[in-house]
Amino acid sequence: MAIIKKFKDFFALERNIAAICLANILWTSIFLYRSYLPKFYEGLGASIFIVGLLFSLQFIFGGISCLIGGVLTDRYGRKKVWVPVSFVGLFLTLGYVIAPDWIYLIPVIIASYFLGGLEESPIVTMIMESVKKRKRATAMSSVYLSGTLPHILFIPIGGWLIDNYGTVPGMRIAVLVAFFISLLGNIVMLAYSKETLKKRIKRSVTDIKQKFVDLINLGLKIKSILSYVSLYWFIASITAAYTIFYALDVIKITAVEWGIILSIQFAIISIFIFLGGKISDKYGRRPSFLISPLISIITPIIFILSKSFYHLIVFGIFSGLGTLAYSSFYAYAADHISPSKRGRSMGILSFISYFSSIPGPIIGAFLYSISPQYPFLATSVLSFMMFLISFKFIH
């Protein structure tokens, strides 16, 4: 019993965290297809610029709904908002199975990412409120870590489906398999998670502008984390849709090999997000905020210098190391925000990540059309700016 207690304490596995971790193992099945969406869009007739626009569309509607989700989460409860939204959103993913071309995917993308944004605030707030302050980053890290082994398994399987059945048919099979596995994850959350909102806060969805004002007025610490998170997600969005094109079309590796690279990347990500969470809870949030951008300066250079599958393994390792600060974003914000404002503040923080990502894919498409290396060089320069923000303002 003592060993079990130490294990639960080390990973911050309170009831809700344990339920979310178990569900996350199942939800990770979406990476059977999500990692290959740019090639799927291309297979349905989309150009590089259309792929960028579709990714921006995801960010626009995901970001808008994060704001609404944050307000609804404070008003009605974390679990009460999450349950209906998550089940409807899951069924919408079946649109990927039947869409004959990319145009028919537009309403599917809008609706599914809108609902996905509504889900984010309840889950993040539930994690923050299910543990004590000293365990918040650890709990966030444990949730991410729980998806490590499934990531390693699912991503190469998705690549195998594409290599053996073709991009579009393989992706449709992957979506169907992921749907049924993810449905089990939703059932786990429905059955075992508990509501964490102790007192309903009656606020209007139309009062979002004031929520922004309230959040910004919380001071320099919140402004600093908003700036850092904005730049972090903008940088990530520039290359998000194009790494797979560069790997498959320029370096000329197979989809299965790309899946293996991503599996290595996610394994390293999970380990270092967890370590970052432990460091953050024990030594403060700042160290991880400083280290992450320094690694992110180097990573894109390694990618564009890669000439083979084996070179890309090095890239996968470094890109994983660069996520050390991820688990500290919400923890840092939660540390400086009162419980009465926490749900909507988590929503605004999520909105910032989506909103900052909107121009990234379009800028990436423009740069990629000039030279495939340019989007990656741009992210290296911007990562240096992110380091300067963390060095100067985040303490």
Higher pLDDT, 339 or 52: 52
d(CA 13, CA 86): 23
| DSSP label of 28 | G
Q: pLDDT per residue over 96-121, tens digit each? A: 999 999 999 999 999 998 888 788 77
Model pTM score:
0.79
Which amino acid is residue 76, in one-letter code?
A: Y
DSSP string, 216-279: HTT-HHHHHHHHHHHHHHHHHHHHHTTHHHIIIIIS---HHHHHHHHHHHHHHHHHHHHHHHHH
Q: Which one-letter amino acid corresponds to residue 19?
A: A
Q: Tell me how far apart the alpha carbons of residues 247 and 255 are, in angstroms, rounded to a whole number.
A: 9
pLDDT at residue number 226 = 74
Residue 143: pLDDT above 70? yes
Q: Please indicate whether residue 146 or residue 45 has the higher confidence score (pLDDT).
A: 45
Question: CB burial class (10 A; 0-12, 13-18, 19+) of residue 6?
Answer: exposed
d(CA 70, CA 63): 11
Cα–Cα–Cα angle for 120, 244, 116, rounded to 5 degrees: 15
CA distances from 36 to 41, 95, 172, 303 (A): 9, 16, 11, 18
**pLDDT score of 393:** 62
Which of 259, 182, 214 is CA-nearest to residue 70? Answer: 214
| Higher pLDDT, residue 62 or 39 | 39
pLDDT for residue 342: 56
**pLDDT tens digits, one per residue of 319-350:** 877 776 666 666 666 666 666 555 556 666 66
Domains within the chain, CATH numbers bracketed? 2-393 (1.20.1250.20)
pLDDT of residue 245: 94
**Torsion angle, CA of 249/252/256/262, rounded to 10 degrees?**
-70
Closest to 328 in 3D by CA, of 379, 385, 384, 290 = 290
pLDDT tens per residue, range 260-297: 998 888 778 777 777 766 776 776 667 777 777 788 88
Q: In the predicted model, what is the mean pLDDT of the chain? A: 82
Q: Which residues contact 169 (CB under 8 A, 6 or more apart)?
A: none
DSSP H stretches of helix in the chain? 2-10, 15-27, 37-43, 48-76, 78-92, 95-98, 102-129, 136-145, 148-165, 167-192, 208-216, 220-240, 243-245, 255-283, 286-305, 309-321, 328-335, 339-357, 359-370, 374-393
Query: How far is Cα 106 from Cα 99, in angstroms, rounded to an integer?
Result: 10
Distance separating alpha carbons of residues 364 and 378, to the nearest angstrom: 9
